[in-house]
Chain A
Amino acid sequence: MSSQRPPTEPGISSIVDTRLVIVAGKGGVGKTTVTAVLARAASAAGKRVLVVELDGKAALDELLPGIEVRHIAPAMALEEYLHDHGFKRIAKRLAATGVIDVVGTAAPGIDDLVVLGKIKQLERSEEWDLVLVDGPAAGHAITFLTAAAGLRDAVRSGPIGAQADEVLAMLADSERCQVVLVTLAETTPVNELVETAYAVEERVGVRLGPIVVNQVDLGEPVPDPDRMQTDANIDGATTDDGATIDDAIAAARFRRERAAAQAAEIDRLAGELALPRIVLARRLVAGLTPDDITALAAPLIHRDGTPAP
């Protein structure tokens, strides 16, 4: 697969040159895995890393022992926000009566905005070198990132308008913030990533960092069984004793076909988006452990010439 890689593949240094990095991608592309790998690599490179998780899932805590993970829920962020912005006495009551649902509907995006506001606070504190956000799931990345722009148009005055301005300033500042988009080397995820990339750049004006292509077959090249010379070790294995030559040939064809399809999709992505790419290897397991995350992070650190963890 190495021939499909761009000539200069970026390492972790390209990620840590902004204090805030938002990882975004559609369901099933492995956004959480990518967040964990980037966090592990940055931490191994000596950075103080905070991971922010928005969906209430515990996976990141398990994958990242020794790295701080914070969970931010919109309802709590809104209550905290109201509390800090002149609604001290009624913040609890607003939350408890569910009036917040109505506020959220009256001005859609308000929950996303208060989450971004909270993230801005963490970024501004300078307590961490890297605040890495595991972005919202499903097709939510664009609405999440455009929430501030939409609200600034709808609500020009008051605390929400001011908050929207500050969040927009942060998102638009290419020295403070970048978005890392994640995809698989498959047709539909690549199409969706390209659409998202244009939408994010045009409608939010946020800097796009490297694209991460997840779960790519980076194993040793498998020989083409149709072009192989006859080999005694293969010819001999015709009887079924657990591994026959037919099994091996079928497996080789399958692996080669999938690898070729992935390579074609990476080429297509390269043609559509002139952004640097980080390619992460597919692990040969059905569920990742912290050790897998460390192994996936290692090449990102080596590439920058820093020692392995």
Chain B
Amino acid sequence: MATALDGAEVVVCCGSGGVGKTTMAAVTGLHAAAAGRRVVVVTIDPARRLADALGLPDGLRGEPQRIERSELEGAGELWAMMLDTPAMFDRVVRSHATDAEQAERIIANRFYRNIAGALSGTQEYMASEALYELHGDPRFDLVVVDTPPSRNALDFLEAPGVLTRFLDHPVFKLLMMPTRTGFRVLTAASQPLLRAIGRIVGSDVLADTVAFFQAFAGMESGFRDRAAAVTALLHDPTTRFVLVTGPQRDSITEAAWFADQLHHQGFGVAATVVNRVHPRFGSGTAADASARAASAPVGSDAAALWRNLAELRTVAESERVALAPLAERVGDELLVEVPLLPTDVHDLDALTHLARHLFP
């Protein structure tokens, strides 16, 4: 995992929901800061656990805030922030608008508020924007981002193009057809397709939609250029993808599929982290422990103790079998195992403990 950080400027933690992406992002940030880097960790997960673990009693904010820890004294810096998707989207609109009036007209539009709040892929889109912005921020030399939980883990890679793809939409083109100002709404609303939309969702909603696309005029090229720059950063060799998975069969199948997709699209997986792997308790097998249980007196504490060892080793062995295809695909040297801890990770000690496994 240490090699994944060598020369890295951006680390993207990805994987399916519930595997521990946020925790791994925090551990990575903590380790890099301790090694002297100026790190910002961007999280999407509003769960309090990370804020607690980092010692932030008031939670994370939408702006980076410095984490002051005694173990980081004389080392680098650790900053953390939580992505505020609608606020970030407003900022992006303001930065591209030709003037303040255009920005406010867009931001006040109901259709825009729907996009900022609910368009599928918006969260991923804003995460990629935040990543780009922080990468250019002179305060930091490493950006660690944990990707949003999506139905499709690939959403993040396609995120920078979300809005430009929307702008390439036939309806948008229809609305943007050069017509004399003032007649445009009339022209648009008389299109059969738009009339149909109006009948389905109501005329108010349609009017908002038309107004949004019109307000957007003149900003398309700015958004397109930005999307291209963000995509280029994701493909840059200094951007590293860390794939996080659990040791269960379905989680591993998904991770293996995702690794393939990343590879096909020209992204390298710098490391694959298998989180919460059951410890093996010694070098023997479940069968060894079962044999001991069988020779212990029936009903004795000793028999129960050996049976427990046999059961836990059975789980570990089952996980090992499930992991084999993934290990084969990504190579042993890029596969990092993090053990399941007896208790949940909710303080800095636990993060430090995990760091020892991620960065031995």
Contact = CB atoms under 8 A, between A and B. Distances in A.
Nearest to A185: B344
A247 B205 contact: no
Nearest to A227: B301
A94 B48 contact: no
Contact of A222 (B192, B193, B305, B344): B305
Given A102-B171, A228-B301, A248-B309, A160 B318 contact: no
Given A55-B151, A251-B308, A108 B17 contact: no
A246 interface: yes
B201 A87 contact: no
B188 to A, nearest CB: 12
A246 B289 CA distance: 12
Contact of A234 (B19, B170, B302, B308): B302
B199 interface: yes
Interface string A212-245: 0000000111110100110101100100111110
B47 interface: yes
Interface string B143-173: 0000001110000000000000010011100
A159 interface: yes
A106 B282 contact: no
A188 B49 CA distance: 7
Contacts of A274: none
Contacts of A143: 118
Given A28-B17, A242-B288, A98 B200 contact: no
B342 A261 contact: yes
Given A139-B149, A286-B247, A26 B344 contact: no
A99 B47 CA distance: 36
Contacts of A285: 314-315, 318
B308 A248 contact: yes
Contacts of A219: 308, 311
B319 interface: yes
B311 A192 contact: no
Contacts of B246: 28
A192 B47 contact: yes
Contacts of B87: none
A255 B315 CA distance: 12
Nearest to B168: A98
14 contacts: A26-B149, A27-B18, A27-B149, A55-B151, A136-B151, A138-B17, A187-B346, A220-B304, A231-B302, A242-B288, A242-B289, A251-B305, A284-B314, A285-B314
Given A243-B284, A248-B289, 15 more contacts: A27-B17, A86-B199, A97-B193, A155-B202, A160-B202, A161-B202, A186-B344, A222-B305, A233-B297, A250-B279, A251-B313, A254-B342, A258-B343, A286-B248, A287-B250
